[in-house]
A and B are shown apart, each in its own frame.
Chain A
Amino acid sequence: MSLLTTPLDALHRELGARMVPFAGYEMPVQYPAGIIREHEHTREQAGLFDVSHMGQVVIEGPGTAALLERLVPADVQGLAANGQTYALLTNEEGGVRDDLIITRWSEERFFLVVNAACKAEDLAYLEASLAGQKLTVLDDRALLALQGPAARAVLSALAPDLARMPFLRGRETEIEGATCYVTCSGYTGEDGFELSVPAASAEAVARRLLAAPSVAPAGLGARDSLRLEAGLCLYGHELDAETNVVDAGLYWSVGKARRPGGEREGGFPGANAVFHRKAEGPAQRRVGLRVEGRRPVRDGQPLFANSGEEVGVITSACYGPSAGGPIAMGYVAAAYSDNATPLEAEARGKRLPVTVAPMPFIPQRYYRG
């Protein structure tokens, strides 16, 4: 199967990107600056990411909010216009089909951004589950993420109406003559924006953003180390069909109105499994891990208690440039999930001391207005 390309493909190549196959797309994993420098630049100034491989979907029609709540535990009906929420497509066992961002464009119009790797399955599921609603895949739009402490000043210079837009809000605006939908969100722990841009204008918008001295291109490699430092989950690593929402530490994403005793209690797939797990307490928990020394650990490696008992597994790992050393996320038995619990990872036949650590690994710097 041939790989798809994003509307920024030519620009990536011009910038000297190393392209790799990812979720059916050719994507830039890094530019000549390298993953660590791109990561640091995003924390210090601003990084521009092409995330056009992600699925952009609009669902509209009478009663869409209530129908979406039959698929996700988030408080969709409670979203204000241009409000945004993190959401999970749960399954009947309380596991996760995908995680996504839902933005309420208007009363009966919702904009969903789903993971690239889950896109085809999500669309089939949404079409089957929301048969009466109009579903439109925005495959004629690019998605750019501008992330970092300088992002707001750079973007506001082009679209002054974004200057004070807080975290998890969105609005339609003009950039380089193109009508874009911009949300204050991201995957780095920094203040920043995601821009849904018509494909034909994507390169012009990207070039305009890159023209700012504080903006540098950043690839998927930096995106992964930034999100791991920010303590954010990656579907297929921390989240999958078998992992309960509560074990993943994502019960916060169950809207208050959707919880036991709430006005719209349950009603999403696996609600009983999630509430039951919440009441009894999880057998395993998602935790952050700091690695002693410099040797990195890798996802899939087992974790051991000092007794020698295998108590967990690493699900994501990287060198954290801003954390100042190797870090990881993983699942461990609840009894070993307290902060500062000493564990050992097994990396290439060697046991490495690791310690359960609070997440995020770096302070989040979202702009809340």
Chain B
Amino acid sequence: MSQAPEELSYARSHEWARLEEDGTVTVGISDHAQDALGDVVFVELPEDGAELAAGDEAGVVESVKAASDIYAPIGGTVIATNGALEETPETVNADPYNDGWFFRLKPTDTAELEQLLDAAAYRQHCSEDS
């Protein structure tokens, strides 16, 4: 079974968001998403400084067989991206919640995190999905 750590928030479109101690929010895709996609071979990340609203397209993840859009789970300004994924996109499969992170936001309103699913609700969402 795929993992969904308790401390994260999840979008129905399978991105996770983690509120860091400094108030920024890190975003990636869930273990369920990486497993469904299969071997990831390419990741397109948003531009540094991009202003995203919740639900905006923020990038693309391409696996051997399919391309999938990545959406911003909450609104904010992109302050960092995981450039290492350009050379080693397979990290998304190997470590989706840590080294496989996609980008970091300075959130417009951290209250938007409350609109996301908690781990239990997300696991339920995934089981209905499959």
| Chain A interface residues toward B at CB < 8 A | 29-30, 34-37, 221, 225, 294-296, 298, 318-319, 326, 348
Q: Choose from A36, A37, A221, A348 the contact partner of B60 (Cβ within 8 Å).
A: A348
Known: A221-B65, A318-B64, A319-B64. A296 touches B38 (CB 8 A): no
Interface mask (B36-70 → A, CB under 8 Å = 1, otherwise 0): 00110110100000000000000010101101000
| B86 interface hit (Cβ, 8 Å) | yes
How many A-B pairs with Cβ below 8 Å? 40
* Complex: chain B residue closest to A347, CB-CB: B67
Contacts of A348 in B (CB 8 A): 60, 67
Complex A-B: 16 CB contacts under 8 Å:
A30-B38, A34-B39, A35-B38, A35-B39, A35-B65, A36-B39, A36-B64, A37-B39, A221-B38, A221-B64, A295-B42, A296-B67, A298-B67, A319-B39, A319-B64, A326-B42
Q: How far is the CA of A134 from the CA of B109 in the complex (A)?
A: 74
Contacts of A221 in B (CB 8 A): 38, 64-65
| B76 interface hit (Cβ, 8 Å) | no
- B72-120 interface with A by 8 A CB criterion: 86, 89-90, 93
B49 to chain A, nearest CB (A): 20
Q: Choose from B62, B64, B90 the contact partner of A295 (Cβ within 8 Å).
A: B62
Q: How far is the CA of A298 from the CA of B67 in the complex (A)?
A: 9
A271 to chain B, nearest CB (A): 38
Q: How far is the CA of A34 from the CA of B63 in the complex (A)?
A: 11
* B41 engages A296 (CB within 8 Å): yes
* B38 engages A294 (CB within 8 Å): no
Contacts of A318 in B (CB 8 A): 64-65
* A296 engages B39 (CB within 8 Å): no
A236 to chain B, nearest CB (A): 16
Contacts of A319 in B (CB 8 A): 39, 41-42, 64
A328 to chain B, nearest CB (A): 13
Contacts of A30 in B (CB 8 A): 38
* B64 engages A225 (CB within 8 Å): yes
Q: How far is the CA of A36 from the CA of B38 in the complex (A)?
A: 9
Q: How far is the CA of A201 from the CA of B129 in the complex (A)?
A: 36
Contacts of A37 in B (CB 8 A): 39
B76 to chain A, nearest CB (A): 24
